[in-house]
Amino acid sequence: MSKNVNIDWNNLGFGYTKTDFRYVSMWKDGAWDEGKLTEDNMISISESSTAIHYGQQCFEGLKAYTTSTGDVQLFRPDENAMRMNRSCRRVLMPEIPVEKFVDACIQVVKANLDYVPPYGTGATLYLRPYVIGVGHNLGVKPAPEFMFGVFCVPVGAYFKGGMAPVNFTIADMDRAAPYGTGAAKVGGNYAGSMMPHQEAVNKGFADCIYLDPMTHTKIEEVGAANFFGITKDNKFITPKSPSILPSITKYSLMYLAENYLKMAVEERDCEIDKIDEFTEAGACGTAAVITPIGGIDYKDKLHVFFSETEVGPVTKKLYDTLVGIQFGDVEAPEGWIVKVK
């Protein structure tokens, strides 16, 4: 369906490119319609839509990968579907049947196959599903109609010159309120993070680390990613909190640490005053898979983990294993891969 494209796959960044087709489905009168592919990358909605005024919306992010044999595959799209439904429930939007979500993603990838980067470039096709409240509305209440869409964009390899550690600082502001929307992937979480992120960058750091909003004593998230640490006795530790977005990458790494690397895994409090228990640390998410943390600036002191210049051996092994699964070079656990073609 799509045309041949002229893209320099090795020099792609993480920015918007208009691809040929995207998927749109509307919810009206209590049900989703069948949905369809469209070439139009602009959407027209009521000026009174709840998505604009009250933030009634959510989104997801996942990728399609080309394997060495030329197959194109998705990584755990059912998990994205289930997480989107948890977000929808949190802000009173209708859920998307998992089969409909996965099918929409497959339709979009198939319609844009020429935009799926070739194997070996490290580049991928990023998919952005979203649900927004639309239709005429004025009061603070759920929208009368909703739109579910999926579009895709080719994105470059996150680490252009190889994976390297970066430093973070502790944010003065909170990412989410206690018992708020921190565990939902809603836009308001990200709008609120822009200022602390910019302040961290202005100070020379890659991003900021958010502590728990109730006590400001425990690590919760690293920018828009989840935190993990490797202890001196080789345990994989990651924070547990109702304010953390449940990262599909993080739970995949937990499974790989336990079943592929034979490590003990714990999801528990990570107190900022006890970060010296970790010999390695990282931030994990869809975009980079893992961003190694060189050091954390806390109380005017930079606590360095493994190294500010070298990636720790466990972090590297976890990264290589997960990326190997995503690109089809390492055997995946059952159910993790959905073939597109």
Mind telling me the catalytic residues?
185
Residue with tokens 């977000």: 87
Pairing state between β 72-75 and 337-339? antiparallel
Nearest to 249 by CA among 187, 180, 318, 188: 318
Q: Which residues of 252-262 are buried (b: 16+ CB within 10 A; e: fewer)?
A: bbbebbeebee
Residues in the chain: 341
Interatomic CA distance for residues 149 and 328, integer angstroms: 27
- Which backbone phi and psi does 75 adopt, to 5 degrees? -110, 110
Nearest to 270 by CA among 241, 242, 296: 241
Interatomic CA distance for residues 235 and 231, integer angstroms: 5
Give the tokens for residue 4. 């041949």
Q: What is the largest CA-CA distance in the chain?
A: 58
Q: Indicate the residue type of 176.
A: A
Residue with tokens 């470059």: 156
Nearest to 306 by CA among 165, 161, 159: 165
* Alpha helix segments (H runs only) across 176-280: 187-191, 194-202, 248-259
Give the tokens for residue 222. 């690293």
